[in-house]
Every structure is written in C-alpha cells, then in structure tokens.
Structure 1
C-alpha cells in the first residue's frame, strides 16, 4: 500500500497545533528547571527567560494553561537558596499561589518584589565585603624608621623640560 494514500493515525484537527509536543515538553521543562543561578544570578535575565518560557506555552495555543498559582510557585522556587528569607516573607505577608491571608500578589508584582530583593542582596553583599576586618596600614614614610625611609626621586631640571632640549 502506498504511504501517500494511508490515512493518518490521528485526526488532522488534533494535529493543527504547530507547536508540537517536543516544543511544549521543552518549554515546560525549561520553565520548571530554569533557575536564577543558571543566569549568573542576574534577576533581570532570569525574569526575562521565565517570561519567555511562559510566552512559548501561551503561543502554543494549547487546550490548557499553567495556573497562575503554579506560575508563582515555579518562579519562587527557582530563585534558589539565597532567596529563602524572601520567600518566607512573601508567604507570611501575602497571598501567593492561593495560600496566605495577606493581599494577593500577581506574578508581575512578585517579579518586581524579587528584583527589589535582588538589589538589596547585592547591596548588602557589597557593603559586607567592604566592611570586613580593617586592612593593615601600609608602611608610609612617616611610619618607617628614619634610616629606612624611601627617598622619592625628584625630577632633574633637564628631565622636566622634556626631550633633551
């Protein structure tokens, strides 16, 4: 029997989705495994990639979508261990992923708060690196014994004029 005359095993209507199961599987996998650390701890890159994964799924025009609550949970979980205090604060003070008693947060609001927290963590790290143990003072001439002081080279008058005039 000629292959061109065979009927497909599934109806054509079911195959109208041009995204394909591999693209959908890949987008769901990336959405669930992509972390802040995989973007060199740059929250802006992570947020952009997360939104891109959501866009790919929305563009696929599937008969289902990922619930907002699950989107929020995936975003929070994939921030990584450095955001554990942030997650705790969010879970305590807001209604996220259907849980909590505080005001409800959208995914965009959650992303904004995560970016603010990222800036706070960077600033905190920068300050803590600068406020470590005091550095040992360098041995300036005033601290050196008189016999060990460095004599600065005073430029000779002919060197000041320049090119051996």
Structure 2
C-alpha cells in the first residue's frame, strides 16, 4: 500500500511539474502575443493620427500668428475713428479666428490648448488695456499704442508658438 502511494507520487509529481511549466509557458506566450497585437494596432493608429496631429499644430500656429497684435493691426483696419469700435473689431477678429480653430483641441495636448487659449485671452487683454489708456482717444492712436507696446515686450503668441515648437519636436 505504501509502495503504491509512493509509486503514484513518483508518477504524479513530474506530471504536475510538467503541467505547471506548460501552463506558465503558454500564459507567457499568450500575453506576449496580446502585447504584440496591441503594439501593432497602436502603431497603425499612430501612423494615421500623426498627420492629423501635425495639421492641428500647423493650424494653431497659424492662428497664433494671425492674432499677433502687430499682424492683426495690419490686417484689421479701423472702420471708424472711435477707439471702442476698433477695439470691438479687433476682439471680434480674434474670437472668430479662435472659433474657427476650436476643433483642433482634439488633436493637441491639454497643455498646448490651454496655452493657446491663454495667448488669445492675453492678446485681448492687451487690446482692452490699451483702449482704457488716457493717451488713447482714437482708433489710430489705439493702433499706435498697441504697436509701441509690442515693440517693448514679447507678444503672448510668441510664447505659445515656442511651446508648440517644443511639443512638435517631442513627437519626432
């Protein structure tokens, strides 16, 4: 009886060890195959998404260039001599450009979109602050004050563009 149990153990122990090794081997193999498939799917998705992401960065860069005060003032000429009308025209141009590019936030990082929005709002604040100045009494004087202020300091768009350039270089 003891001999039968010992004989049974001598047959079962190697079978259990072989079964455990086979189990771990196949589990590892299946896990590696799943990881490989996921990698290939991710690679295909990245290949399709990269051009869309780069296009979004291009559009945001164009937006930031268009709302630079120096370029905005050249493009949007005053329709009247009233500084308030010109302020409204400039802000409407910025908002229109921004709304035209709203969908780009899907393709860029949250931080990039936040910096873009901040640059837009800072540009609007520059315009509003200049309008409130005592030196400004006409649309032409408003243009002059904004342009002279932009000569002295960097525009919000420049800072945002620098960030975008860094982010795009990280993609490569």
TM-score, reference length from structure 2: 0.32
Higher helix share: 2
TM-score, reference length from structure 1: 0.33
